[in-house]
Structure 1
Amino acid sequence: NVRKMAPGMGKDQVRELLGWPHFSEGLWGVREWNYLFHLRTGKTPSDYVTCQYMVRYDDAELATGAWWKTDECAALANPPAVAPIPAVPTLMPPQKVSLSADGLFRFDGAGADDLLPDGRERIVQLAADIRANFKVLHYITVTGHTDRLGTDTYNQALSQARANTVRDLLVQAGIDRAKVRAVGMGKRQPVVSDCAGTVATPALVKCLQPNRRVEVEVQGGN
């Protein structure tokens, strides 16, 4: 109840909280009410100190403030707030998701207009998963890859354009753009390399499909 005391309270309000003062100080025009309280300092009832507490009033008999006689008593009655220990983010290993380019883009496409409906939905869902699972986000790397069909220059440009498109859609879906970078690797990092042939037959295109991909690597914590 002492902690509920506030300036501006009338004597009746103070009496409801603290009771009558513990010293006889007259009936009319009294400017001070004094109390004695036993404040515990330990776990047992005998571990306590006796503290004097004074309430002062103005001419309108409204409390102007209240004071403990000693700093020790003030500290016992109003212990300092303990600041919570800040949570330290738990750093998780980098998480990598590989998205098939054939499932993201129309054939030979790389721009936003070339995104397939299912591909667009998958990227948006990926952004939602990242926001939900990474409370602290350090970086996201979007890397585009192609198969070995076509020239080096063409494949490099295609892989970069696809990475840029996926990056832009992640940003549109709520990911901080400053945390996302896009990289094109062309055909330099294939995941399958035992597909025979150099002519783009249907069989070869199918065999090389795993190489046509966009990888999203996320580093962060929770």
Structure 2
Amino acid sequence: MHKTLKNVGKGALALAASMMLAACGNLSRVDDKGATQEPVWPNPQHATFKNGSYPNLDNLRMVDRGMTKDQLYNLLGRPHFSEGLVGVREWDYWFHFRTPQGDVSCQYKVLFDSDKRAQSFLWKDPACADLLKTGQAAPAQRDFSLGADVLFGFDSAQLSPAGRQEVARIAAELREQPYNSVQVVGHTDRLGAQAYNQRLSEQRAQAVANELRAQGIDGTRMTVTGAGESQPLVNCTQTQRGELLACLKPNRRVDISARS
């Protein structure tokens, strides 16, 4: 019995020692100055932070040489991969960025010197560094402009069947790539009293917003306003009413802007 326990104790010590040795290793061969000639990149499928994260770009731009692990943790959060428990001088991240062309995924590596100060910052794809430049990783935005003549009947704020189908199509696009905010703005042409046009633009914007909500778009992130006749796209001088109504058609609209 004592012999068995003794053997188990030796086995446990050997296992612990092997785990400790493994924990001390980094993926790359990092020198004392916090540099490597051959960076090794982990497989994203092995990330301990499942699916990676969307970093705060302002925080990422603040990262600099000499920072401690605590300072980097405060800016970037915990590393997304596990390189060990002791003596780790390599942190790996799997970041996602929203761009006007769609989401972009990038692997990012921080190397520390022997004093555990950050010294090297690497991107697996060097093009990812461009995303930190001002405006390169601007929030994605989608703009839609719907003709009021398609959405509503004449002098009405009641959505037509065709109008509901058009709003449903836009809602489907917004659900595919969720946005942080959606702005709905109604517009009219200059015909009619200004106060009446303002009220009609608000009613039409609200009708579109209600349909977006019914299609699953979060109403708490939605702003709904009416601009009345104040933001025309065209100015018309025709004297015949029919010609004037046709010319002013682009001004009768509901605009939807979605930002990530």
Same fold by TM-score, threshold 0.5 exceeded? yes
Q: Select the structure that is richer in strand.
A: 1
Contact 1:195–1:208, Cα closer than 8 Å, also in 2: no
Q: Does 1:152 align with 2:194?
A: yes
Q: Could you tell me how far 1:214 is from its partner in structure 2?
A: 0.3
Give the match for residue 100 of structure 1.
147
Larger Rg: 1
Q: Could you tell me how far 1:70 is from its partner in structure 2?
A: 7.0
SS of the residue aligned with 2:189? coil
SS of the residue aligned with 2:186? strand
Give the match for residue 227 of structure 2.
185
Q: Could you tell me how far 1:118 is from its partner in structure 2?
A: 1.1
Write the distance in 1 (CA, Å) between the matches of 2:188 and 2:217: 25
Task: Identify if the C-alpha distance between structure 1 residues 72 and 29 changes in structure 2 by more than 3 Å, giving closer, same or farther.
Answer: closer
Write the distance in 1 (CA, Å) between the matches of 2:23 and 2:7: 18
Q: Select the structure that is richer in helix.
A: 2
Write the distance in 1 (CA, Å) between the matches of 2:223 and 2:4: 71
Give the match for residue 22 of structure 1.
none
Alignment TM-score, normalising by the size of structure 1: 0.62
Identical aligned residues as a percent: 33
- Per-residue CA shift, 1:32-78, capped at 9, x if unaligned? 3748xxxxxxxxxxxxxxxx852xxxxxxxxxxxx234744233468
Write the distance in 1 (CA, Å) between the matches of 2:21 and 2:47: 14
Contact 1:142–1:182, Cα closer than 8 Å, also in 2: yes
Aligned residues: 158
Give the match for residue 14 of structure 1.
none
Task: Identify if the C-alpha distance between structure 1 residues 53 and 148 changes in structure 2 by more than 3 Å, giving closer, same or farther.
Answer: farther
Q: Does 1:88 align with 2:132?
A: no
Give the match for residue 19 of structure 2.
74
Write the distance in 2 (CA, Å) between the matches of 1:77 and 1:163: 61
Unaligned runs of 5+ in 2: 26-45, 54-94, 101-139
Unaligned runs of 5+ in 1: 1-27, 36-51, 55-66
Contact 2:236–2:244, Cα closer than 8 Å, also in 1: no
- Per-residue CA shift, 1:149-176, capped at 9, x if unaligned? 0000000000000001101111110111
Alignment TM-score, normalising by the size of structure 2: 0.54
Q: Tell me which of 244, 247, 252 is aligned to 1:204.
A: 244
Write the distance in 1 (CA, Å) between the matches of 2:198 and 2:183: 17
SS of the residue aligned with 1:164? helix
SS of the residue aligned with 1:186? coil
Q: Tell me which of 145, 150, 160 is aligned to 1:116.
A: 160
Q: Does 1:166 align with 2:208?
A: yes
